Chains A and B, each alone.
Chain A
Amino acid sequence: MREQVKSVLARVRSKPPNILKALLALQERLGHVPTEAVSEIASALGVTTAQVAGVLSYYPDVRLTAPGRHLIRVCMGESCYANGCGRLLRELQDRLRVDVGETAAGGKFTLDTMSCAGNCAVSPTVMIDRDLYGRLLPSQLDTLLERYK
């Protein structure tokens, strides 16, 4: 991992250093930002561990733990709210037996919420990995989840 961290960070080195960019680049590669890597990141960027920790803990999208194979995110924005995202989320929680932020047994899915995906005109919206689904009904969830291995 040390090597991976090093090679990724070598790519995003800048003056002044950009901590968020570095973290996102690492996450892109590793799926998350392991806490063990914090001092490595700090010294590679020439910043302190506190500075890294501050940024790391600020942004909801920077993950400290590895997600499941697929990341399901339910939009909680107002248009989706009006169109029943609450029901969708509850349905997913029941089906996957997880709470928001958790990974289902077997490690296939991690369930999360997201803010508006800009898909409000075809809401409610669910994003799985990088795919977006709109006008989703709870009854369509089964077929949808089956597409993901």
Chain B
Amino acid sequence: MRTVTRLYLSNDTSARAAGAGVLADAWSEHPEVQLIRISSRGAFYLEPMVERDSPAGRVAWFNVTAQDLPLILSGTDGTPVRSIPFLAQQTRVTFANFGETEPLALDEYQARGGLSGLETALRIGPDAIIEELQVSQLRGRGGAAFPVWNKWKVAQQARADQKYVVANADEGDAGTYCDRMILEGDPFRLLEGMLICARAIGAGRGYVYCRQEYPGAAKTLRAAIQKADEAELLELDGEPFPIEVVEGAGSYVCGEETALLESLEGKRGVVRARPPYPAQSGLYGSPTIVSNVLTFATIPNILSRGGAWHAALGTERSRGTMALQLGGRVKHPGLVEVPFGLSLHQILEQFGGGMAPGSRFKAVQVGGPLGSLFPASQMDIPVCYDVFAKAGAVLGHGGIVVYDHETDMVDLARHFMAFTADESCGKCTPCRIGSVRGREILERIQAGSGTIEDLALLHDLGDTMKVASLCALGGRAPYPVLTAIEHFPAEFRAKLRT
């Protein structure tokens, strides 16, 4: 009798894009292999990564090709997963299941502690849930970092026939992918977080607004919802709590909560003025909690382990862990879950492994396309909300993109402004016209016809956009551009007409 070896291979989109898909196809003909498609550990520089069980835990092979099968079956040259420094140095709490479980295996999820947060929530009731969150000091992970308990309390106290829970799975910031990983890799954690929220505020319906660029995520999540439904999880107090996945259509600003709600209603994804805030009047005018996927996914642990446990992690006003996502010209791109407080330098060295081969460091951008640029001299800034805010920067959704020596800063600045001009919803003047004017100025500079007055105008325009824009798209757009000019002035000046 031939023995069948269980091999673990990630089914995460990025793992597949890195070759896991091809690998799975190639090995599907091998009866001696039983491939288990799990979530990804997030060490993407190692993907496709194949693991097998050993008495000392999982052993892994990196950057595997189809030809590596005999090697793996023979068990040689594997690395114990536990000893991979990139993973070992992390504090995996929200992402504890990643690389371990099959995303749609509800029993595994439960076996590893899943649903106990919900159980607690059902037991202690709405007020206590919110108290627990207050103790935890959890702040929203979608960008604005608003205290979660506070928002929930507003929605809880609002009187209304209907209330909604909406998970923001638009993950628009380039350089971020942790929401996608959760949707694809641990979808029940998101659903559990949403159910806890629904329980806390008394909501009767849930939506997940998923960006269109994530077809795999939407598919997995829909399957997870069906499984949860079959397991009779989607009900509260005997009332059904249906959750629907709704896909976007390629608009970045639809990640902004009010534009998201417009889009969810099937309308133009244009930003609404606040107040009223969604927690008071959101979807179809009803109280609505819009929270980020990562935020929801963080909540089950808080309920099961207690708010104090969460508050013990991180720094003074940035509690818990943050999922940082490394990308660009870093050597080890991937997901890093650590408590707040490490410096950018530490993160890039300890986890990023330095620069990609052949690259020299130029700048790092934190917080997506609207995030500030940091030059080498500012790398000791700690990753936490308040220091970033003081520096005029944002942590955003935790995306960290590293640019190397080949980056043309003028072109990069133009790229940023062009992004805002392309993605502006067109509602408010500073962003609708200003972003195009900004792009045009940078194009002139790039073409060699810009003047020193143009740079001054760009600053004045940037200032106007920052304070006068209706939402953070126009309001943040100047930051990457102006920090590029600030830190690399020579590159701009060199292009000016004299």
Contact surface of A with B, Cβ cutoff 8 Å: 16-24, 54-55, 58-62, 75-83, 114-123, 125, 127, 130, 132-135
Which residues from chain B contact A75 at a C-beta distance below 8 Å?
174
Kindly name the residue among B42, B249, B268, B402 whose own CB sees the greatest number of chain A CB atoms within 10 A.
Answer: B249
A121 touches B251 (CB 8 A): no
Please determine whether A19 and B267 come into contact, CB atoms closer than 8 angstroms: yes
Residues of B within 8 A of A77 (CB): 174-175, 369
Q: How far is the CA of A119 from the CA of B172 in the complex (A)?
A: 12
B434 touches A (CB below 8 Å): no
**Nearest B residue (CB) for A80:** B174
Nearest neighbor of A59 in chain B, beta-carbon distance: B249
Q: Cβ of A116 and Cβ of B333 under 8 Å apart?
A: no
Asked if B235 CB lies within 8 Å of chain A CBs, one says no
Closest to A132 in B: B17
Q: B175 touching A122 by the CB < 8 A rule?
A: no
In the complex, the answer to whether A122 meets B407 with C-beta atoms within 8 Å is no
Contact with A118, one of B16, B177, B369 (Cβ below 8 angstroms): B177
Chain B residues lying within 8 Å of A135, measured Cβ to Cβ, are 17-18
CB under 8 Å from chain A, chain B span 4-31: 13-14, 16-18
User: Is B176 an interface position by the 8 A CB rule?
Assistant: yes
Q: Which residues in window 400-442 of B have CB below 8 A to A? A: 401-404, 407, 412, 415, 419, 423
Query: Within the complex, which residue of B252, B263, B266, B268 is in contact with A115, where a contact is CB–CB below 8 Å?
Result: B252
How far is B22's CA from A133's CA once the two chains are assembled, in angstroms? Answer: 11
Instruction: Select the stretch in B121-129, B212-220, B378-386 that faces chain A.
Output: B212-220
Q: Which residues of B contact A16 (CB under 8 A)?
A: 265, 284
Given contacts A24-B249, A82-B401, A116-B176, contact A121 B329 (CB under 8 A): no
CB distance from A50 to the nearest CB of B (A): 11
A55 neighbours in B (Cβ, 8 Å): 266-268
Chain B 211-248 near chain A by CB (<8 Å), digits 1 or 0: 01111010000000000000000000000000000111
Contacting residue for B175 out of A19, A58, A78, CB 8 A = A78
With both chains docked as a complex, state the minimum distance between the C-beta of A31 and any C-beta of chain B, in angstroms. Answer: 15
Q: A118-B176, A119-B17 are in contact. Are A82 and B329 (CB under 8 A)?
A: yes
Q: Chain A residues near B214 (CB, 8 Å)?
A: 117-118
Query: Which B residues lie within 8 Å of A83 (CB)?
Result: 328-329
B residues 317-336 with Cβ under 8 Å of A? 325-329, 333-335
Q: Is the CB of B401 within 8 A of A122?
A: no
List of B residues within 8 angstroms of A54 by Cβ: 267-268
CB-CB < 8 A to A59: which residues of B?
Answer: 248-251, 269
Question: Residue B180 at the A interface, CB < 8 A?
Answer: yes
**Residues A79 and B401 in contact, CB atoms below 8 Å apart:** yes
CA distance A123 to B14 in the complex (A): 9
A24 to B246, CA, bound (A): 11
B234 to chain A, nearest CB (A): 20
CB of A129 to closest CB in B, whole Å: 10
Contact of B251 among A24, A58, A81, A122 (CB under 8 A): A58
Smallest Cβ distance from A118 to chain B, in angstroms? 4
B61 on the interface (CB 8 Å rule)? no
A-B contact count (CB 8 A): 152
CB-nearest residue of chain B to A117:
B213
| Contacting residue for A116 out of B16, B174, B269, CB 8 A | B174
**B141 → A minimal CB distance (Å):** 15
CB closest chain-A residue, reference B44:
A121
B415 contact set on A, CB distance < 8 A = 76, 81
* Complex Cα spacing A62 to B247, Å: 12
B250–A78 touching, CB < 8 Å: no
CB pair B14 A134 closer than 8 Å: yes
A123-B250 contact in complex given A116-B173, A116-B175, C-beta closer than 8 Å: no
Measured in the bound complex, the distance between the Cα atoms of B327 and A87 in whole Å is: 18
Check if A22 sits within 8 Å of B266, measured CB to CB.
yes
Interface positions, chain B 86-130, Cβ under 8 Å from A, are none
B249 in contact with A20 (CB, 8 Å): yes
Neighbouring A residues of B329 by C-beta, 8 Å: 82-83
Interface membership of B62, Cβ < 8 A: no
Interface string of B255-272 (1 = CB under 8 A from A): 000000001011111100
Nearest B residue to A20 by beta-carbon distance? B266
Cβ contact within 8 Å between B18 and A20: no
Asked if A121 contacts B45 (CB within 8 A), the reply is yes
Pick from A18, A82, A121, A130: contact of B404, CB below 8 A.
A82
> Could you tell me the distance between the alpha carbons of A80 and B179 in the complex, rounded to whole angstroms?
18
What are 9 sample pairs from A and B whose C-beta atoms fall under 8 A apart? A17-B266, A22-B266, A79-B401, A80-B174, A81-B174, A83-B328, A115-B174, A121-B14, A122-B333
Pair A58/B403 contact, Cβ less than 8 Å: no
Q: Which residue of B lies closest to A60 (CB)?
A: B250
Supposing A20-B267, A58-B251 touch, asked if A78 and B177 sit within 8 A by C-beta, the answer is no
| Structural contact, A82 and B403, CB atoms closer than 8 A | yes
Known: A77-B175, A121-B44. 17 other contacts (CB 8 A): A17-B266, A18-B266, A24-B247, A62-B249, A76-B415, A78-B175, A78-B368, A79-B327, A79-B328, A115-B252, A117-B213, A118-B179, A118-B213, A119-B14, A120-B175, A121-B327, A122-B14
Contact A121 B174 (CB under 8 A): no
Q: Is A78 touching B213 in the complex (CB atoms < 8 A)?
A: no
Does chain A have a CB within 8 A of B483? no
Q: Give the residues from 164 to 185 in chain B that come closer than 8 angstroms, CB to CB, to chain A.
A: 171-177, 179-180
Q: Which residue of A lies closest to B404 (CB)?
A: A82
Name the residue on A nearest B415 (C-beta): A81
Given contacts A60-B250, A120-B399, contact A78 B328 (CB under 8 A): yes
Contact indicator B13/A119 (Cβ below 8 Å): yes
Question: Please, which residues of chain A bring their CB within 8 A of the CB of B215?
Answer: 130
